[in-house]
Amino acid sequence: METPVTFGVAPERARSWLLVPATQPEAFATAAASEVDAVILDIEDAVAPHAKPAARDAVVAWLEAGNSAWVRINDATTPFWADDLEALSGLRGLAGIMLAKTESGGQVDATAARVTAGTRILALVESAVGLEATPEIARAQSTFRLAFGSGDFRRDTGMSDEPLAMAYPRSRLVVSSRAARLPGPIDGPTLTANDSILARDSALTVSMGMTGKLCMHAEQAPVVNRVLAPAPGDVTWADEVIDMLGIDGVHVKDGSDLPRLAKALKIREAAGIFGITAENNPA
């Protein structure tokens, strides 16, 4: 029996989400032992229709062996959806479900009704219909977090991957998440293996208000995790602001102080979660 793997970052704060084809069970343990915050075993896009039963069985076997992962299941309009949920329901190692091609809150609720109560559901938005329904999807009772299937979205709409073209869908996911009191959404993946491009794309993710990013390779996790966490310099700035204004705002003097303090407190909280220290603190 393989040694169970657990993750140190809670899923509501997870930055790097690694998609692993379920047709490669030999890669499951390696992925889980990497630096990613969360692993998603993929039995949807990564698996041809004829191979789905075997891939699903491989996922179930790995989870039953005491391991833990998220699973991307097939969308609710396919016959595979019900089979996926029947196989996964009740598995202790199931961290949660990513629902592919989510296009309504009803699909999220129907998914939740077929699995163990309380199972977390990531709603993956991948189409124009899904994007327009994002507020409804975000407010569905069982939605845990939103994710952006940027590649399929571009194929559906004909839009390019330029930041300006993708600004609206990203913003809509961010605003809908905030309005529904969900954690920040998870951005789509960067397909290149170039670290500079990945860092640039991850910085864009942060600038749009998204707090996670899908990964196609485990090697992408260190860059994504670094960029989607506060830098040591940010922590230094936050500490200075909190020292000056007081953690409870007792020294606030004008209207600009409260937003600065709120930002500083968020940075300090994130730094504690991700183990980031101030640049003048080598500990």
Which phi and psi (to 5°) does residue 258 adopt? -65, -45
Q: Are residues 29 and 81 in the same domain?
A: yes
Q: Are residues 164 and 250 in the same domain?
A: no
Residue where a domain stops, chosen among 227, 251, 266: 227
Is the residue at 166 inside a domain? yes
Residue-level pLDDT at 1: 31
Neighbours of 185 (CB within 10 A): 28
Residue-level pLDDT at 3: 36
Q: Are residues 149 and 258 in the same domain?
A: no
Is the residue at 9 inside a domain? no
Is the residue at 281 inside a domain? no
Is the residue at 1 inside a domain? no
Is the residue at 23 inside a domain? yes
Residue-level pLDDT at 4: 38
d(C-alpha 82, C-alpha 114), whole Å: 8
The count of domains in the chain is 2
Q: Are residues 136 and 263 in the same domain?
A: no
Residue-level pLDDT at 7: 59
Is the residue at 6 inside a domain? no
Which phi and psi (to 5°) does residue 96 adopt? 165, 175
Q: Are residues 162 and 219 in the same domain?
A: yes
Residue-level pLDDT at 282: 52
Q: Are residues 192 and 158 in the same domain?
A: yes
Residue 71, both tokens: 């699973």
Cα 211 to Cα 12, 17, 153, 200, distances in angstroms: 9, 11, 19, 15
Cα 197 to Cα 193, 201, 203, 212, 214, distances in angstroms: 8, 6, 10, 17, 15
Q: Are residues 208 and 193 in the same domain?
A: yes
Is the residue at 2 inside a domain? no
Domain harbouring 95, CATH code: 3.20.20.60
Which phi and psi (to 5°) does residue 186 adopt? -100, 125
CB 257 within 8 A of CB 249: yes
Q: What is the mean pLDDT of each run of 10 residues along the chain (283 residues)?
A: 55 98 97 97 96 98 97 97 97 97 98 96 98 98 98 98 97 98 98 94 98 97 97 95 93 91 95 89 54
Q: Residue 247: give the domain boundaries.
A: 232-274
d(C-alpha 245, C-alpha 225), whole Å: 29
Q: Are residues 114 and 251 in the same domain?
A: no
d(C-alpha 171, C-alpha 177), whole Å: 10
Residue-level pLDDT at 281: 60
- Residue partners of 96: CB distance under 8 A and separation at least 6: 11, 70, 71, 119, 120, 121, 122, 144
Residue-level pLDDT at 8: 78
